[in-house]
Amino acid sequence: MAYLVGPKGQIVIAKEIRDHLGIKPGWIAIQQLVGDRLEVHFLPAEHRQSLMGCLAKYTGQYISSSDQWEKARQAAWDQAASEKDNAGENVR
């Protein structure tokens, strides 16, 4: 695949390559000169999506309020401490 360099020095990354690498608009392209060639590394842009509930399918629980969250957090800490204590590790 050959593409012309644009008047501002821009080049096109072929759609097949973008698709293969999963490159999306807004990603950062880091360019590095290595010998007499150019290497380009792509970093995804920061997402703006909420992660709320993304682990629910792994926990079997969905927590909707801060009160429920605090109770669940405390129960998890209590359970972890109990497991360590039962394993003979002193957590105090």
* Residue type, position 83, single letter: E
> Do 39 and 15 belong to one domain?
yes
Asked if residue 73 belongs to a domain, the reply is: yes
- What's this model's pTM, rounded to 2 decimal places? 0.48
pLDDT at 11: 92
C-alpha count within 13 angstroms, C-beta hemisphere, residue 73: 6
Asked if residue 61 belongs to a domain, the reply is: yes
> In terms of residue numbers, what domain contains 60?
56-85
| pLDDT tens digits along 16-30 | 999 999 999 989 999
Asked if residue 92 belongs to a domain, the reply is: no
For the record, the structure tokens of 36 come out as 């007499």
Nearest partner of 73 among 88, 63, 83, judged by Cα: 63
- What residues contact 70, with CB distance under 8 A and at least 6 apart? none
DSSP 44-56: PPPP----TTTTH
